[in-house]
Homo-oligomer: A and B are copies of this chain.
């Protein structure tokens, strides 16, 4: 009876700190979307909003870490429960880094606004961001629902982000060779695209955490990606 009581107290603690993770995830999704939008519309005010919002994201990570630590100190969880509470710390760390990348994207805005526009590149970056944003939404959903299948789907979709990045990289190289006046813009845009690709990696690591929580083993990042790549290129 006593044990039952302790277990459900832990569950309540966990649920409450997971709710904070979802809140943090929502803030990071907003940051990605607004940063991409500010880039496309050259909206300096929106960019400023993203930069300010990042402080709130950092503060929420601090809070989540402290709460997770308090739960560990209070309940001394072991095995599966420990894994669950540690996942909170790891996932909030990934979210914090994704938020940083969104902030850095927004920071480039004022520089890019003074440079010549490069074809549809900001649109392409926005589409990349949209994919990452939807992956993040699903990664957090499958985290709460402990859905390893959806998590594997998120991991596979990171391949699309990689493909979009590779296509952009090739495009930027072409633009730079065509006209050296494009070089500075393209370097900034390439840097942004690279960071979006890294956001995708971080979302993937959240989805991998979910697979680990549900199945107890780390997913093999090797298989799905490699197979996709080969098929897509040969096809």
Residues of B within 8 A of A69 (CB): 72, 76-78, 82, 85-86
Residues of B within 8 A of A101 (CB): 221
User: Is B107 a contact partner of A222 (Cβ separation < 8 A)?
Assistant: yes
Whether A225 sits at the interface, judged by CB under 8 Å, is yes
User: Is B188 a contact partner of A226 (Cβ separation < 8 A)?
Assistant: yes
User: Which of A8-16, A17-25, A128-136, A227-235 is found at the contact surface with chain B?
Assistant: A227-235
Interface flags for A23-64 (1: CB within 8 Å of B; 0: not) read 000000000000000000000000000000000001000000
Whether A109 sits at the interface, judged by CB under 8 Å, is no
- Copy tally for this chain in the complex stands at 2
Interface flags for A146-168 (1: CB within 8 Å of B; 0: not) read 00000000000000001000100
| Residues from 193 to 235 in A contacting B, C-beta threshold 8 Å | 194, 198, 201, 205, 218, 220-222, 225-226, 229-230, 233-234
Q: How far is the CA of A174 from the CA of B72 in the complex (A)?
A: 54
Q: How many residues of A contact B (CB 8 A)?
A: 49
Q: How far is the CB of A26 from chain B (nearest CB, A)?
A: 21
Of B65, B191, B222, the residue contacting A82 (CB under 8 A) is B65
Residues of B within 8 A of A218 (CB): 58, 96, 100
Q: How far is the CB of A111 from chain B (nearest CB, A)?
A: 9
Residues of B within 8 A of A93 (CB): 90, 93
Whether A89 sits at the interface, judged by CB under 8 Å, is yes
A170-B173, A187-B229, A191-B229 known, 6 other contacts, Cβ within 8 Å? A69-B78, A73-B76, A108-B226, A169-B169, A187-B233, A201-B201
Enumerate 16 A-B pairs (CB-CB under 8 Å) in ascending A order.
Answer: A66-B82, A69-B76, A69-B77, A69-B86, A89-B89, A89-B90, A96-B218, A97-B205, A104-B222, A183-B234, A184-B234, A187-B229, A187-B233, A188-B226, A191-B229, A201-B201
